[in-house]
Amino acid sequence: MIGISFIRVMNNAFRNFRRNVWLSIATTLIMTLTLCIILFLYIVNVLGAEFLRNVEQKVDIAVTFKDSTSREQVAIIQKDIAARSDVENTRIVTSEEALKEYRKRHADEPFIEEALQELNKNPLPSNMYIVAKDPRFYENITASLRSDKYSAFIEKVNFQDSKVIIEKMIRIMDLIKKAGLIATGIFGLLVILIMFNTIRLAIYSFREEIDIMRLVGASRWYIQGPFLMESVLVALISVCIATTIFYIALNTGATNINQFFFTGQNTTFDIYRYVVSHWIQIVGLQLGAAIGLAVLSSYIAVRRYLR
């Protein structure tokens, strides 16, 4: 009995959808648009997080020691810094190593070698590179290195450049997320309003049948179910359309997106592969948002007009 009732409720939901077909299509389109914005936000989030992770991996603090600082003093400072709880690792590049690397890099430029010969001493200082456990810790570590404790040994602490890039990136990401969330909110509200009106009209179209259903002992589910199911139907169609659009767009643009965000970076990240491997999460996100909005609006309409 429950099975046949469910089939009848679904049949009535399809009939409701057909009876106000243009309104149903408009609702579906707005819902699809909302889902596309949500998907766009999702992708921005994924790409942004991956991009930041890559940039962060490259960030470190470069400490240049004074010429007068001895190797022993450098070793003591390194030990001191490495012992901090906010430091991931430290690496020393001695002036000899730096010179060797410099020569290697400019091997095909003989005038540089000649200049070095003329100087008759190593012009490159020793350096220490520090990687923090979290980008937020760099500020503290830098402040500590610039304190009086190390001022006699350290020439320069270089962090500013990377900091600016990271902060700028975070600001852009936040801006995109905020704009996306506002757009999602506006479209979400539109979906609720349009869906509410669709269901209200459907209830109006079927008022005669609803009266008779009550008269002959229809359960609340049998009367209200088709209207709730109609909204779920709109949600499911919207998810299908949005997923198709998203897949086509991604299939076409994945190479360009990967190039734009990750060219020159040491990563194998591929947005297309990421989406394919996370399809359950992506479809689930859409279903949650679409069915949530649909059921909320139709529930309000049903409560108001079908008491």
Partner 1 sequence: MITFTKVSKKYADLSPALQEITLKIPTGDFVSVVGQSGAGKSTMLKLLSAEEKPSEGNIVIDGWDITKIKNWQVPYLRRQIGVVFQDFKLLPKRTAFENIAFAMEVGGAQPKDIKTSVSQILKLVNLADKAHTYPNEMSGGERQRVSIARALAYKPQILLADEPTGNLDALNSWDIVQLLMKINRLGTTVLLATHNDDIVNALKKRVITLNQGKVVSDQQAGTYKL
Q: Are 128 and 91 in contact (CB under 8 A)?
A: yes
215 binds partner 1 (CB under 8 A): yes
4 binds partner 1 (CB under 8 A): yes
Q: In 3D, which of 232, 228, 180 has the Cα closest to residue 34?
A: 180
Stretch that binds partner 1, among 16-24, 190-198, 212-220, 249-257 (CB under 8 A): 212-220
Stretch that binds partner 1, among 121-129, 146-154, 216-224, 235-243 (CB under 8 A): 216-224
Stretch that binds partner 1, among 217-225, 234-242, 260-268, 287-295 (CB under 8 A): 217-225
Read off the tokens for 211. Answer: 């009266």
Report the residue number, 8 or 156, with the smaller CB distance to partner 1.
8
208 binds partner 1 (CB under 8 A): yes
Stretch that binds partner 1, among 80-88, 165-173, 186-194, 205-213 (CB under 8 A): 205-213
303 binds partner 1 (CB under 8 A): no
One residue of 204, 211, 253, 260 binding partner 1 per CB under 8 A: 211
State the sign of the Cα–Cα–Cα–Cα dihedral 94, 125, 54, 163.
positive
Q: In 3D, which of 259, 257, 260, 288 has the Cα closest to residue 43?
A: 257
One residue of 104, 216, 266, 268 binding partner 1 per CB under 8 A: 216
- Closest approach of Cβ 197 to partner 1, in Å? 24
User: 3-class SS at 275?
Assistant: helix
Q: In 3D, which of 209, 151, 160, 191 has the Cα closest to residue 37?
A: 191
218 binds partner 1 (CB under 8 A): yes
Report the residue number, 83 or 215, with the smaller CB distance to partner 1.
215
209 binds partner 1 (CB under 8 A): yes
Report the residue number, 169 or 213, with the smaller CB distance to partner 1.
213
CA–CA dist 239, 291 (Å, integer): 9
User: 3-class SS at 302?
Assistant: helix
Q: In 3D, which of 194, 206, 232 has the Cα closest to residue 305?
A: 206
CA–CA dist 116, 93 (Å, integer): 19
Report the residue number, 145 or 223, with the smaller CB distance to partner 1.
223
306 binds partner 1 (CB under 8 A): no
304 binds partner 1 (CB under 8 A): no
5 binds partner 1 (CB under 8 A): yes
What are the Cα distances from residue 101, in Å, to 96, 131, 232? 9, 21, 65
- E strands, the chain, are 61-65, 87-93, 127-132, 154-158
- Closest approach of Cβ 214 to partner 1, in Å? 8
Report the residue number, 149 or 214, with the smaller CB distance to partner 1.
214
Q: Are 205 and 24 in contact (CB under 8 A)?
A: no
Q: Where does this chain bind partner 1 (CB under 8 A)?
A: 1-2, 4-5, 8, 208-209, 211-220, 222
